[in-house]
Amino acid sequence: MLMGISNNSTQCTLARPAVIAGPGLFHGVDCRVRLLPAAENTGIIFRRVDLASRPEIRAHVDYVVPGSRRTILAANGATVETVEHLLSALAGLRVDNCIVELSARELPALDGSSLPFCEAILEAGMNQQTALRRTVCIAELQRISEPANGQWIECIPSFTDDLVIDYLLDYGSESALPSQSWAVQVTPEMYLREIAAARTFVMAAEVEALQAAGYGRHLTGRDLVVFRADGTVVDNRLRWSNEPVRHKILDCIGDLALSGRNFMGRIVARRSGHKLNHVMAEFLSTIENSVKILSRAA
């Protein structure tokens, strides 16, 4: 167990506030984020402190709104964008309760991974709370697919004590990005060591289209992983040879955290992106109605 990382039996929050700042990935607007300790059973709450009424949005799939290439939440007249990397960091390190204050609508992109969020959380420290973490045991297979795009995601019952994610990234034989697959048991230690540093990636042709639409004009190849048509990387180096599939798993963890459930089982996905992840999160959010919920010690 790494120092400061939550155990698996009781809920956890931060020991003290953490601050992190930077421009957003899509809009490029500077955003200051404060991660604050929160009471038991609070969950994750976003608070827009730049708006007069300081509206709050709960990190839950009920508040997801459509958005390309990122996860967006909206409620109470406010939106928060590109929340998946922070949510992934909180879920990966098993922080259950946190108030996230932000000074703009989009969270900082940082280096395109969740590692800077993890480092800020670990520097702040964690407090174990007394309320038990409730963990849903997946009891039946559920598959969600988009056959026309060759995309699917499914949850499978498993006898492991943790979440396992098995992801196949395959954009076809014409893609410059080779097929990659990876399976990982998502413990806090494994998350921090093998997942958190995996960065956002994009194809060079997609960057041109996004910038033409007004997104990400402040970015260069040093700010995220950009693949050329020949498969080489623009002005950067991969942290792992399979960094893209690791980042897909990072995103999946953040999106599924919107279910509001801690769960154990196996998630298997092929080319699943935010849209299918959100549909799976919606299913997982209702699972309490049909399966037993375990309050279990580590």
198-235 pLDDT tens trace: 999 988 888 777 777 666 667 766 778 889 988 899 98
User: Same structural domain for residues 148 and 167?
Assistant: yes
User: Same structural domain for residues 148 and 257?
Assistant: yes
Task: Please name which of 170, 250, 210 lies closest in space to residue 68, comparing C-alpha atoms.
Answer: 210
User: Same structural domain for residues 96 and 112?
Assistant: yes
Instruction: Answer whether residue 4 is part of any domain.
Output: no
Of 117, 133, 149, the residue that ends a domain is: 133
Residues 158-201 have pLDDT tens digits of: 776 778 999 999 988 788 888 999 999 999 999 999 999 999 99
- Burial environment of residue 292 by CB neighbours within 10 A (0 to 12, 13 to 18, 19 or more): exposed
List 27, 85, 247, 274, catalytic entry? 274
Can you give the CATH number for the domain in which 250 is found? 3.30.1700.10
- Burial environment of residue 291 by CB neighbours within 10 A (0 to 12, 13 to 18, 19 or more): middle
User: Same structural domain for residues 116 and 145?
Assistant: no
Q: Is 85 a catalytic residue?
A: no
Instruction: Answer whether residue 273 is part of any domain.
Output: yes
Q: Would you state the pLDDT for residue 203? A: 86
Kindly give the parts of the chain with pLDDT less than 50: 1-3, 289-298
User: Same structural domain for residues 128 and 21?
Assistant: yes
Can you give the CATH number for the domain in which 120 is found? 3.30.230.20
User: Same structural domain for residues 47 and 59?
Assistant: yes
Residue with structure tokens 């963890």? 253
User: Same structural domain for residues 92 and 195?
Assistant: no
Instruction: Answer whether residue 3 is part of any domain.
Output: no
29 DSSP assignment = -
Instruction: Answer whether residue 109 is part of any domain.
Output: yes
Instruction: Answer whether residue 159 is part of any domain.
Output: yes
Q: Would you state the pLDDT for residue 172? A: 84
Q: CA 85, CA 253: separation in Å to the nearest integer?
A: 9
Instruction: Give pTM, 2 decimals.
Output: 0.91
Instruction: Report helix, strand or coil for 46.
Output: strand
Instruction: Answer whether residue 2 is part of any domain.
Output: no
E-strand stretches of 51-196: 56-58, 64-65, 72-75, 78-81, 98-102, 126-132, 134-137, 142-146, 151-156, 163-169, 180-185
User: Same structural domain for residues 72 and 120?
Assistant: yes
Q: Would you state the pLDDT for residue 223? A: 77
User: Same structural domain for residues 21 and 86?
Assistant: yes
Q: 25 lies in which domain range? A: 10-133
Of 104, 133, 162, the residue that ends a domain is: 133
Domain count, the chain: 2
- Radius of gyration in angstroms for the set of CA atoms belonging to the chain, rounded to a whole number: 18
Q: What is the mean pLDDT of the chain?
A: 89
Instruction: Report helix, strand or coil for 293.
Output: strand
Phi, psi angles (nearest 5°) of residue 74: -145, 135
User: Same structural domain for residues 112 and 68?
Assistant: yes
